[in-house]
């Protein structure tokens, strides 16, 4: 029965770790919901709100993982030392995520767009729904959701259609070679002026 004496503490630690994991995830969800409601009520910029909420949730989950590691009997100090020793390898493995995180910070600092702006970047276009910790959410006119990594978006050209109230729109019209040029120009001018005249009267 010696194996029982050895296995019993391990089983207890594993069971406790599972309980802490489940309860911890529930608590984290409750905390993020509460913080999310307070952030929504605050005067914080709409662009910062989803990023802050995502960052807080990530930090809480990291703390939960460290707590579970400690419950399992692993020395956190040694664990941190191992991570530090393998930092170079981890950095290479997660260089994309780190670039996306840095890109998110860059987007929030430079503010090329805000939540609600219609933008075009990285080959996609849509209305900005939020800037998360690693990606930016866009909603297309046909109601599709696009997730663009912040690293790619911050390093690509961004066209913001919502910065200026008015923009020039180019139209092309075709007419026959036999058409009277002056008559065509007058017709087009009438078409352009009619909306302004009707809006001015109203």
pLDDT digits 0-9 by tens, 58-82: 888 888 888 888 887 776 666 666 6
146 forms beta bridges with 138
Structure tokens at 80: 């941190």
Write out the two tokens for 29: 């969800």
Model confidence at 187: pLDDT above 80: yes
Number of other residues whose CB lies within 10 A of the CB of residue 148: 21
Give the CA distances from residue 70 to residues 5, 60, 78, in Å, rounded to whole numbers and listed in that order.
21, 15, 11
**Of the listed ranges 2-16, 18-32, 151-165, the one predicted with least confidence:** 2-16
The full length of the chain comes to: 202
The answer to whether residue 6 scores a pLDDT higher than 70 is no
Contact 37, 107 (CB under 8 A): no
Q: Which of 60-64, 104-108, 150-154, 196-200 has the lowest mean pLDDT?
A: 196-200
Average pLDDT over residues 158-187: 83
So what's the pLDDT on residue 81?
Answer: 65
pLDDT of residue 117: 92
Helices 48-71 & 2-41 angle (0-180, nearest 10): 170
Rounded average pLDDT over 25-35: 89
Burial class from Cβ neighbours inside 10 Å (0-12, 13-18, 19+) for residue 189 reads: exposed
User: Domains of the chain (ranges plus CATH)?
Assistant: 7-85 (no CATH), 105-160 (2.30.30.60)
Q: What share of the chain is helix, strand, coil (3-state, %, to 5)?
A: 60, 10, 25
119 has a pLDDT exceeding 70: yes
Does residue 197 or residue 102 have the better pLDDT?
102
Q: Is the pLDDT of residue 199 over 50?
A: no
Closest CA to 13 of 76, 80, 67: 67
């Amino acid at each position: 029965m010696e194996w029982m004496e050895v296995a019993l503490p391990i089983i207890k630690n594993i069971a406790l770790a599972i309980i802490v994991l489940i309860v911890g995830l529930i608590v984290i969800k409750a905390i993020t919901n509460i913080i999310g409601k307070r952030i929504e009520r605050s005067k914080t910029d709409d662009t910062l709100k989803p990023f802050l909420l995502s960052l807080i949730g990530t930090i809480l989950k990291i703390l939960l993982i460290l707590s579970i590691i400690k419950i399992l009997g692993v020395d956190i100090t040694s664990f941190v030392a191992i991570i530090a020793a393998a930092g170079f390898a981890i950095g290479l493995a997660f260089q994309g995520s780190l670039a996306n995180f840095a890109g998110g910070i860059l987007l929030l600092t430079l503010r090329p767009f805000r939540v609600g702006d219609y933008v075009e970047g990285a080959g996609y276009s849509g209305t900005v729904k939020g800037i998360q910790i690693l990606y930016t959410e866009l909603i297309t006119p046909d109601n599709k959701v696009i997730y663009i990594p912040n690293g790619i978006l911050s390093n690509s050209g961004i066209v913001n259609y919502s910065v200026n109230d008015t923009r020039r729109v180019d139209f092309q019209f075709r007419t026959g070679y036999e058409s009277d040029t002056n008559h065509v120009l007058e017709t087009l001018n009438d078409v352009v002026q009619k909306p302004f005249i009707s809006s001015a009267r109203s």
